[in-house]
Amino acid sequence: MKRTHTCGGLNKANSGQNVLLQGWVENRRDHGGLIFIDIRDRYGKTQLVFDPTLNDETFTKAKELRPEYVIEIEGSVHERPSGMVNPHLKTGEIEVSVNQLAILNKAKTPPFLIVDDVDATEETRLRYRYLDLRRAVMQKNLILRHRVAQTMRQFLDQENFLEIETPYLMKSTPEGARDFLVPSRIHKGKFYALPQSPQIYKQTLMISGYDRYFQIVRCFRDEDLRADRQPEFTQLDVEMAFVREEDIRDVVERLMVEIFARIHNIKIERPFPVMTYDEAMAKYGCDKPDLRFGMPIVDITDIVKHTEFKIFQMTAEQGGMIGALCVKGAASYSRKQIDLLNQFVLDMGGKGVLNAKVGADGWESSLKKFLTPEQEQALNERLHVREGDLILIIAASKAEVQRYLGELRLKFGKQENLIPENSYQHVWITEFPMFEYDDEADRFVAMHHPFTSPVDSDVEMLDTNPELVRAKAYDLVLNGHEVAGGSIRIHSSEIQSKVFSLLKISKDEAQEKFGFLLEALQHGAPPHGGIAFGLDRLIMILAGRQSLRDVIAFPKTTAALSLMDESPSGVSPEQLKDLGLRIENTKG
Amino acid sequence: MKRTHTCGGLNKANSGQNVLLQGWVENRRDHGGLIFIDIRDRYGKTQLVFDPTLNDETFTKAKELRPEYVIEIEGSVHERPSGMVNPHLKTGEIEVSVNQLAILNKAKTPPFLIVDDVDATEETRLRYRYLDLRRAVMQKNLILRHRVAQTMRQFLDQENFLEIETPYLMKSTPEGARDFLVPSRIHKGKFYALPQSPQIYKQTLMISGYDRYFQIVRCFRDEDLRADRQPEFTQLDVEMAFVREEDIRDVVERLMVEIFARIHNIKIERPFPVMTYDEAMAKYGCDKPDLRFGMPIVDITDIVKHTEFKIFQMTAEQGGMIGALCVKGAASYSRKQIDLLNQFVLDMGGKGVLNAKVGADGWESSLKKFLTPEQEQALNERLHVREGDLILIIAASKAEVQRYLGELRLKFGKQENLIPENSYQHVWITEFPMFEYDDEADRFVAMHHPFTSPVDSDVEMLDTNPELVRAKAYDLVLNGHEVAGGSIRIHSSEIQSKVFSLLKISKDEAQEKFGFLLEALQHGAPPHGGIAFGLDRLIMILAGRQSLRDVIAFPKTTAALSLMDESPSGVSPEQLKDLGLRIENTKG
């Protein structure tokens, strides 16, 4: 039989109709000689009433029903008695008097209740993912995910972008994270790699003339265990030819406006603010600032370096920085609370944090005796201090001060409830350094990736001061998360070779790994650039969740295990022999 | 600078406008003191004119231009002189007088011309895929592919389907084709597998209540080399709960109607014809009949088994079949042509084919002397024979007769031009056998896959006559290609266990491979079923191409090689050590 409605589809207008519903038993309540069942599917739930005076056989059968049984019922729709209407339920105005009942499948007692605020451990939820995904809150997340992906595709299609599929079995070119490898059976001893991103292919497509490409695509990184990473993750990958940075930002901003309008019915203002990497580091201590609240880091080195306080003097002399945060209204913090802040900084590797409470008579702090009234006044002005505020000061290297105060700022954002709910603050971070020095490897590594173009006016410095070269790279930051990152690419084979050489990638290695790209750049490569969204993270933010695993249907654990199907797993000796592989003694 | 138009966007209405174009030099013609350049992008091409009297410096620079250079020009649009209009070109009414020229990138001489009828070998085209994909015909294929995928997504979204991403790193459960394996670094000695299809996950999603699922998804099969297969291929994967076969067929047919309407502006009639597997085998000798032409196989056993012709007698006595094809107007075939047909059957392993030409006086054949006039008459009627036709007859086992005549039929379809161009004939093939016997493995194997439900009335025969059990399986066949295949699944854990046991999959093995599915079936599994499209093949048919490689951006060769990036390739000893793997002596 075929259902006439879903379990979320009936209301007063259907009164008197005969309907056929199919779904899961949520619960059974025997009450006053009647049996009440909530029947559920992904569209909602509907109250069923079994009345022995209507059909005694059906009533008797209904006594067998237990949670999660799959049933089919036929019955008639009635308005609920006026006191019984449930305004929180789409179908809360009606109930269905059941005439016929069929049990389509029975169900064992589930290991946890199928409710939103489930009390099972995450391990149990992942082990029984098919039941976890039956919970309305998880269904809501996956439906939102579908709608976001559809919105992206429709928007980009309308903008003349083409979705083009790129290979999953490609060449291993590890740079940065590790590749997942796939042994070839036909070519024994050789391997494919799973893509960390379709970067090289999308650049190839630009050279082929597909001037607006996108793809929602799975990517793979064999990284060490980290709580907020998945070995496979999804990107919205975008590339455009004949464009400048601002053209890419324009498309992305309009895409975000569209997503927020369709998903949350929120109008996002654009253009989004643009902040250089240097400014973000100086004001917020990180390259993904959460702009939903203020409290910027303030450099007070120039004011305090001439005080009698030795640490300030020495720090300034050694080229360090003295930075401060002004925490509004936190002068009431107890000794213990302040100690916890100090410990927080010590735990990050710092030497602690100085503090000053601001009372009616000015600073209350061991620092006060080192400050002239003019200096105190200058600090108050720069920090916009008012009575009742707490000032935190750190003296160290610039990088350390930025990092510690940046983390303290985020900590206050949460514990002082400075972050408004349902607020979304975008910011572009631009002009990233092209390279960062990897002390361990004793060489420069690409901060974005080795195909990123330097800023035009910095090209000359590639030879003289590579550490000062800025990249045409940009990140889109939303609420303190990097949701997308991109760059204008190098389209000159000479500059690409020079960058490889700066990264200590030898000519042979460059040829071996990226030979076809270097050759393709000599066959008519247009100026091009692009961006890639971390789709899982964006969905997580849009769904208001804290874990990527809540917005991925079948995620891996942080140990890269799938608890439901128990992969990875052993394989047969025949499979290994086919591949020409032997497993080394794993204890060795 | 930013282009004002694409190279396919200008026409008479733009006359007098100043424009900025960017694209590739298609060719240069120096003519009458002027230089003509066709500039090209994916949207079209535009004729540029460089006139020394307009800008001598630009004219001089234009002399440097060579094919595939990337240029940017600024100039003014003019109508072409009346005799020079090119009606085959979107921009054929105009040309652009160039004022400013910038060379954005130079290009080496390409290894082949960027034209539709390229004369390079496929190997060269794949090696320089970035140039091959610059050809208009390849761009047309990939644009069509994008539009088909978008149409599928929009249609299914409107029908309340959710696109849900399933894992690429899953458990190895080989059944049929081989899995590609992915060694785990963190769990040394263990492996993930790449999905042959998301079958188990989509069934899991039905159990989770997502009653309408789809996904356009990459799948992987490590098969031995075959000309028309790719190690990675794309499926449109669909699954529905609370449905019957006809509900799935209904959605699929409406999807196909939508695709043909949007892509080819063709109205496809529905419902599509439905033919059982047995009927397809009997009439067309295969389970994917090309219905764009007739010429069915005709069983003439009952008419000829009593003739004096010994072979017919013996074949009938041994339970074999005598089958015939009537080839319209082919009585004029020469001795040599008939010999070639005979050889064609010999090459397939048959014992040859008998023939009769039909002239004004009836059959002209060595068989004629064995037939009574009544028998000849009966055969003529059954075969709808007319003067000038050629009759082909094969006596052998039923399976052989069907196969040989089926192949002969297809051969005639091509060589007699029986297949109308731009014609699209769909047919559903249903009621497949549930199992086929694998002589080598000495056991039954699932004809579709082991999760396929038997036809209700045949369930009893699972114990007694498994070879007779029909499956609720269905294929969608288009122009002789299987474009989609699906089934209603087993939703009872008991029947699923019984099928595993019939397939000689032991309880331990079933538990090890599919344990979580068997368990999930006990937790409230609804009736469900689905279908999967081979997207590459469907696009190939829609694009009118003969090779899957023409509709995949970066395909592998039949030897599973990527000639552009040269994968698979060797990896470093460190990578292998990380994975705890050693390569066996590949010569051994």
Closest Cβ–Cβ partner in B142, B169, B571 for A191: B571
The residue of chain A nearest to residue B192, with distances taken between CA atoms, is: A568
Omega before B183 within 30 of 0, i.e. cis:
no
CA distance A182 to chain B (A): 5
Residues B528, B480, single domain; the answer is yes
Q: A residues 165-184 near B, CB within 8 Å? A: 165-172, 174, 178-184
Whole-number Å distance between alpha carbons of A482 and A287: 9
**Domain end call among B419, B444, B475:** B419
Omega before B167 within 30 of 0, i.e. cis:
no
Q: Could you tell me if residue B288 is inside a domain?
A: no
Q: A residues 308-367 near B, CB within 8 Å? A: none
Closest Cβ–Cβ partner in A183, A525, A554 for B166: A554
Residues B344, B264, single domain; the answer is no
- B275 has which bridge partners? B429
- Round to the nearest angstrom and report the end-to-end CA distance of chain A: 61
Alpha carbon B365 to chain centroid, angstroms: 41
Residues B384, B270, single domain; the answer is no
Helix (H, G, I), strand (E, B), or coil: what is residue B236?
strand
Whole-number Å distance between alpha carbons of B24 and B107: 10
Domain count for chain A, please give it. 3
Q: Could you tell me if residue B509 is inside a domain?
A: yes
Residues B403, B440, single domain; the answer is no
Q: Could you tell me if residue B126 is inside a domain?
A: no
Check if the beta carbon of residue A107 is closer than 8 Å to that of residue A98: no
pLDDT digits (tens, 9 = 90+) for A555-571: 999 999 999 999 999 98
Q: Do A2 and B247 lie within an 8 Å CB cutoff? A: yes
Residues A149, A260, single domain; the answer is yes
Closest Cβ–Cβ partner in A179, A207, A211 for B42: A211
One-letter-per-residue 3-state SS of B255-289: HHHHHHHHHHCCCCCCCCCEEEHHHHHHHHCCCCC
CA distance B183 to chain A (A): 7
What sign for the dihedral angle of Cα A131, A134, A138, A144? positive
Check if the beta carbon of residue B330 is closer than 8 Å to that of residue B389: yes
Nearest to B552 by CA among B218, B154, B225: B218
Whole-number Å distance between alpha carbons of A407 and A50: 59
ipTM over 0.85: yes
CA distance A411 to chain B (A): 33
Whole-number Å distance between alpha carbons of B549 and B560: 12
Contacts of A142 in chain B (CB under 8 A): 162, 164, 210
A27: domain CATH number is 2.40.50.140
Phi (first) and psi of residue B178, to 5 degrees = -80, 145
Question: Does residue B583 belong to the interface with chain A, where contact is any CB pair within 8 Å?
Answer: yes
Closest Cβ–Cβ partner in B3, B146, B182 for A164: B146
Contacts of A516 in chain B (CB under 8 A): 130, 564-566
Whole-number Å distance between alpha carbons of A525 and B9: 22
Contacts of A571 in chain B (CB under 8 A): 172, 181, 191
What sign for the dihedral angle of Cα B81, B86, B90, B91? negative
A145: domain CATH number is 3.30.930.10
Whole-number Å distance between alpha carbons of B280 and B402: 10
Whole-number Å distance between alpha carbons of B125 and B102: 29
Buried b (16+ CB within 10 A) or exposed e, A174-201: bbeebbbbbbbbebbbbbbbbbbbbbbb
pLDDT of A176 reads: 67
Check if the beta carbon of residue A553 is closer than 8 Å to that of residue B165: yes
Which two three-digit tokens encode residue A477? 């930051």
pLDDT digits (tens, 9 = 90+) for B141-160: 999 999 999 999 999 999 99
The residue of chain A nearest to residue B195, with distances taken between CA atoms, is: A168
Question: Does residue B242 belong to the interface with chain A, where contact is any CB pair within 8 Å?
Answer: yes
Q: A residues 111-140 near B, CB within 8 Å? A: 128-131, 133-134, 139
Amino acid in position B373: P
Which two three-digit tokens encode residue A275? 């902040």
> In this model, does residue A291 exceed pLDDT 80?
yes
Which band of pLDDT confidence, cut at 50, 70 and 90, is reported for residue B242?
Answer: very high
Closest Cβ–Cβ partner in B174, B523, B553 for A131: B523
Which two three-digit tokens encode residue B482? 């299987």
Residues B270, B382, single domain; the answer is no
Residues A148, A224, single domain; the answer is yes
pLDDT digits (tens, 9 = 90+) for A405-431: 999 999 999 999 999 988 999 999 999
Give the mutation candidate from B208, B212, B243, B549 for the A interface (greatest A CB count, under 10 A): B208
Q: Do A584 and B582 lie within an 8 Å CB cutoff? A: yes
Highest mean pLDDT among A513-522, B21-30, B172-181: B21-30
pLDDT of A228 reads: 79
Q: Could you tell me if residue B21 is inside a domain?
A: yes
Residues A97, A156, single domain; the answer is no
Residues A410, A444, single domain; the answer is no
What share of chain B in percent tops pLDDT 70?
99
Beta-carbon contacts of B168 under 8 Å, excluding residues fewer than 6 positions away, are: A168, A194, A218, A220, A232, B194, B195, B218
Average pLDDT over residues B571-587: 85
> In this model, does residue A241 exceed pLDDT 90?
yes
Nearest to B103 by CA among B60, B54, B133, B45: B60
Closest Cβ–Cβ partner in B171, B174, B554 for A565: B171
Phi (first) and psi of residue A184, to 5 degrees = -90, 135
Q: Do B180 and A194 lie within an 8 Å CB cutoff? A: no
Omega before A271 within 30 of 0, i.e. cis:
yes
CA distance A165 to chain B (A): 7
Q: B residues 252-291 near A, CB within 8 Å? A: none
Q: Could you tell me if residue B239 is inside a domain?
A: yes
Which two three-digit tokens encode residue B309? 């012709």
Check if the beta carbon of residue B66 is closer than 8 Å to that of residue B28: yes
CA distance B88 to chain A (A): 22
Average pLDDT over residues B481-510: 93
pLDDT of B587 reads: 54
Q: Do B562 and A169 lie within an 8 Å CB cutoff? A: yes
Q: How many residues does chain B have?
A: 588
pLDDT of B175 reads: 67
Q: Do A222 and B566 lie within an 8 Å CB cutoff? A: no
Question: Does residue B566 belong to the interface with chain A, where contact is any CB pair within 8 Å?
Answer: yes
pLDDT digits (tens, 9 = 90+) for B101-116: 999 999 999 999 999 9
Whole-number Å distance between alpha carbons of B84 and B29: 15
Whole-number Å distance between alpha carbons of A68 and A374: 73
Whole-number Å distance between alpha carbons of B172 and B192: 6
Contacts of A220 in chain B (CB under 8 A): 168-169
Give the mutation candidate from B127, B564, B578, B586 for the A interface (greatest A CB count, under 10 A): B564
Kindly report the average pLDDT of chain A as a whole number. Answer: 95
Contacts of A224 in chain B (CB under 8 A): 186
The residue of chain B nearest to residue A567, with distances taken between CA atoms, is: B171
Name the burial class of residue A509, with classes exposed (0-12), middle (13-18) and buried (19+) by CB atoms within 10 angstroms of its CB. middle
Question: Does residue A107 belong to the interface with chain B, where contact is any CB pair within 8 Å?
Answer: yes
pLDDT digits (tens, 9 = 90+) for B384-435: 999 999 999 999 999 999 999 999 999 999 999 999 988 999 999 999 999 9
- DSSP type of residue A285: S
Which band of pLDDT confidence, cut at 50, 70 and 90, is reported for residue B586?
Answer: low
Question: Does residue A194 belong to the interface with chain B, where contact is any CB pair within 8 Å?
Answer: yes
Q: Do B169 and A180 lie within an 8 Å CB cutoff? A: yes
The residue of chain A nearest to residue B141, with distances taken between CA atoms, is: A164
> In this model, does residue A440 exceed pLDDT 90?
no
Phi (first) and psi of residue B567, to 5 degrees = -105, 155
Which band of pLDDT confidence, cut at 50, 70 and 90, is reported for residue A175?
Answer: low
Q: Could you tell me if residue A494 is inside a domain?
A: yes
Phi (first) and psi of residue B70, to 5 degrees = -100, 125
DSSP result, A429-497: EE--BSEEEETTTTEEEESS-TTBPBPGGGTTHHHH-GGGPBBSEEEEEETTEEEEEEEEBP--HHHHH
Range of the domain at B314: 293-419
- B299 has which bridge partners? B323
Whole-number Å distance between alpha carbons of A365 and B253: 78
Give the mutation candidate from A71, A250, A554 for the B interface (greatest B CB count, under 10 A): A554
Task: Report the helix count and the strand count for chain A, using DSSP H and E.
Answer: 17, 23
Whole-number Å distance between alpha carbons of B137 and B42: 10
Name the burial class of residue B32, with classes exposed (0-12), middle (13-18) and buried (19+) by CB atoms within 10 angstroms of its CB. exposed
CA distance B329 to chain A (A): 47
Check if the beta carbon of residue B569 is closer than 8 Å to that of residue A171: yes
Helix axes B277-284 and B398-415, enclosed angle (nearest 10): 60
Average pLDDT over residues B559-565: 94
Q: Do B244 and A207 lie within an 8 Å CB cutoff? A: no
> In this model, does residue A227 exceed pLDDT 80?
no
Check if the beta carbon of residue A457 is closer than 8 Å to that of residue A476: no
> In this model, does residue B438 exceed pLDDT 90?
no
> In this model, does residue A513 exceed pLDDT 70?
yes
Q: Could you tell me if residue B576 is inside a domain?
A: no
Q: Could you tell me if residue B178 is inside a domain?
A: no
Q: Could you count the other beta carbons within 10 Å of the beta carbon of residue A556?
A: 21
Whole-number Å distance between alpha carbons of B58 and B64: 10
Average pLDDT over residues A157-181: 92
Beta-carbon contacts of B9 under 8 Å, excluding residues fewer than 6 positions away, are: B43, B44, B91
Residues B205, B244, single domain; the answer is yes
B327: domain CATH number is 3.30.1360.30
Q: Are strands B298-299 and A362-364 parallel, antiparallel or unpaired?
A: unpaired
Lookup result for tokens 């039923």: B398
> In this model, does residue B313 exceed pLDDT 60?
yes
Closest Cβ–Cβ partner in A210, A526, A570 for B190: A570
pLDDT digits (tens, 9 = 90+) for A325-368: 999 999 999 999 999 999 999 999 999 999 999 999 999 999 99
Phi (first) and psi of residue B379, to 5 degrees = -65, -45
Closest Cβ–Cβ partner in A107, A521, A571 for B191: A571
pLDDT digits (tens, 9 = 90+) for A81-109: 889 999 999 999 999 999 999 999 999 99
Residues B328, B442, single domain; the answer is no
Which two three-digit tokens encode residue B570? 């060797």
Contacts of B232 in chain A (CB under 8 A): 167-169
Whole-number Å distance between alpha carbons of B104 and B500: 63
Q: Do B516 and A180 lie within an 8 Å CB cutoff? A: no
Residues A407, A443, single domain; the answer is no
